[in-house]
Structure 1
Amino acid sequence: MRRPNLTTVGYAYGVPEAAMAAALLESAGILVTRHPWHTVCVTWSKTHAFGGIEIQVPASQAEQAATILADFQPIARPRKRLFRLLVCIAATLFIAVPPAASGFFAVAMRPGTMRNSAQD
């Protein structure tokens, strides 16, 4: 069986953002692969070290996926910035646990920017 030629169309830095982006694409009938989804679910503190969760689709559906993800913006929860900053600093200093990563970044559809991961 030949593996499909996968193209990265976005990066998520939080498990909820990756799940929402994948669900949005899957609801449009696009096959989605999330790498390293399972590793980040277990060791979320290393999300930045892995470069985020890559949202990959077959190359034949990359333009359609990029169009769908262009309008996708996760809703930001209102936060008390100063309090959150102090809690994050305290957690990092006292128990060596960095704050959880979050965010989603779509890859622009320009020639040369889409990254193909599968090789024949």
Structure 2
Amino acid sequence: MAISILGAAGIFVLPHSYHHASVAWHHVTALGGIELRVPASQAGDAQAILESIDLSQSRRNAWLRAATGILLLIWIGIPLPAGGLFARRAFPAAEQTVSR
């Protein structure tokens, strides 16, 4: 998204390690993301543009996207994860003891 926004503003952007990410996308987080390089003469403008982006809009209607995704998975026949859809359980699991 940042590459497109800066390109639309006329700023030349070189996405360093972009091709690595296109081949092994699962390594991108471990590598620290994709570094964007711009000419030194345009660095101030690029930084101002990137700081002006409002990222709070991306969470709008998140529940609708999640519900649509779940319905799509069910429709095409992929079972939902056995552990649930959330990283943290709403209620802690009860302790189980085994008596012998």
Q: TM-score surpassing 0.5? A: yes
| Higher-Rg member (1/2) | 2
CA distance in 2, matches of 1:76, 1:38: 28
Cα RMSD (Å) of the superposition?
2.2
Give the TM-score normalised by the residue count of structure 1.
0.48
Which has the larger helix fraction? 2
Structure 2 residue matching 1:34: 3-state secondary structure: strand
Matched, 1:76 2:65: no
Q: Runs (4+) of structure 1 moved beyond 4 Å?
A: none
Structural mapping, 1:1-120, within 5 Å? 20-72=1-53, 73=55, 75-76=58-59, 78=62, 83-85=85-87
Runs of 5+ consecutive residues of structure 1 not aligned to the other structure = 1-19, 87-120
Structure 2 residue matching 1:31: 3-state secondary structure: coil
Identity of aligned residues (%): 39
- Cα distance, 1:84 vs. partner? 4.3
CA distance in 2, matches of 1:45, 1:37: 13
| Larger relative contact order (Cα-Cα within 8 Å, sequence gap ≥ 6) | 1
Runs of 5+ consecutive residues of structure 2 not aligned to the other structure = 67-83, 89-100
Give the TM-score normalised by the residue count of structure 2.
0.57
